[in-house]
Chains A and B, each alone.
Chain A
């Protein structure tokens, strides 16, 4: 009886103490006590954790570094591969755009029966402005056929072999093309030069030339069909003592960037040399 009473009191006391502690904790009175008790424990825990992390890093960091380096090399390789792919795709896009433009021109001018040709080389002589293209007599190309792009006139076929042709550009110093102006009824000539510039010549003094005026082939002489765009006037040279005035012409075709051209196959150039007076 004595023992059971004692046990009951102990139980009751523990419960009361527990309730009291809970009430004190809920009331916030045990905060300072918990803080003072937990501070050394937290400090010890932090010290232990820091030492553990330091030892872990010492043991594992070389492996991680080598893995990171390997991964870095892999990624760098991947980046360089992707960059080369981007360059290839950009080149293909540029080529596709050029071909699309040529195709559009060919589609809108079916009467010209154009044959597309890729530029495969340029004349090594610094004096001459010629292209080598990959279409020849096997593809129906003949000497004298005009060569164009979607922008305008490029030149004419100068020599042909079975699988390739040589094209004399408008800018070649030996190139002379009969032209007229878009807005005026007047015949003149466009002549190339060794520097690749083209000039409008044989323009009568009474003609009023203006910058920006478009120059088209006239078809005279039978070398080129008429109304092919060549370029536009950018500067005029007019001296009172000269018989004719001249002008510098900006070609519409960028000859340095030519990758593909169209050869007009249904135009037969006329050789009027026997008709010229001797």
Chain B
């Protein structure tokens, strides 16, 4: 709801933030949350966004699930640097999401000029996501501490 009502209106040129993707990645990097919970949340978020948006829901679901599994993979391999991992995942999967959409809409017959897309959509969207990455990670980490406190935190 916050994504649709507020953050979809914050644009740099035509770029928009994808808060749900950032939340999915941030949740995937939290050590105390089980993988099943993460999968359920990502699937639910993907289907919900895909249902509301005019974008095909399978694109959203696939990108969110890939982002989740990659962040889970990195959580186990690189547990010491979650913030850096968060930045890396958000850049990679935001780019992937936009590129998949661009290719899909090209196939649908929409005129999507690559240079225009890069200047007006891809770069601005990446910039907004990078700006939002750290606050989202901190908020999700704080919520995780409240809901699933670890033994050291207790």
Contact = CB atoms under 8 A, between A and B. Distances in A.
Determine the main DSSP class of B at the interface with A.
Answer: helix
Contacts of A166: 52, 54
Given A126-B11, A174-B108, 7 more contacts: A125-B54, A126-B16, A126-B121, A126-B125, A127-B101, A127-B112, A195-B116
Interface stretch (A115-123, A210-218, A270-278): A115-123
A127 B124 CA distance: 12
A128 interface: yes
A128 B53 contact: yes
Contacts of A112: none
Contacts of B5: 120-121
Contacts of A121: 1, 4-5, 8, 52
B13 interface: yes
B117 A194 contact: yes
Contacts, number: 79
Contact of A173 (B11, B16, B111, B125): B111
Which of A121, A126, A256 has the most chain B CB within a 10 Å cutoff?
A126
Contacts of B105: 127, 173
Given A158-B54, A173-B105, A195-B14, A123 B8 contact: yes
B110 A132 contact: no
User: Max chain A CB contacts within 10 Å: which of B8, B13, B15, B54?
Assistant: B54
Interface string B114-150: 0011001100110000000000000000000000000
Interface of B: 1, 3-5, 7-9, 11, 13-16, 18, 20, 49, 52-55, 98, 101-102, 105, 108, 110-112, 116-117, 120-121, 124-125
The interface centre, meaning the residue of A121, A159, A194 with most chain B CB atoms within 10 A of its CB, is A194
Given A173-B105, A173-B110, A123 B116 contact: no
A168 interface: yes
B58 to A, nearest CB: 14
Interface in A52-102: none
A126 B52 contact: no
A183 B42 CA distance: 54
A124 B111 contact: no
Contacts of B55: 123-125, 127-128
Contacts of B9: 122, 256
Contacts of A204: none
A132 B7 CA distance: 14
A122 B17 CA distance: 12
Given A123-B54, A124-B49, A168-B54, A194 B112 contact: yes
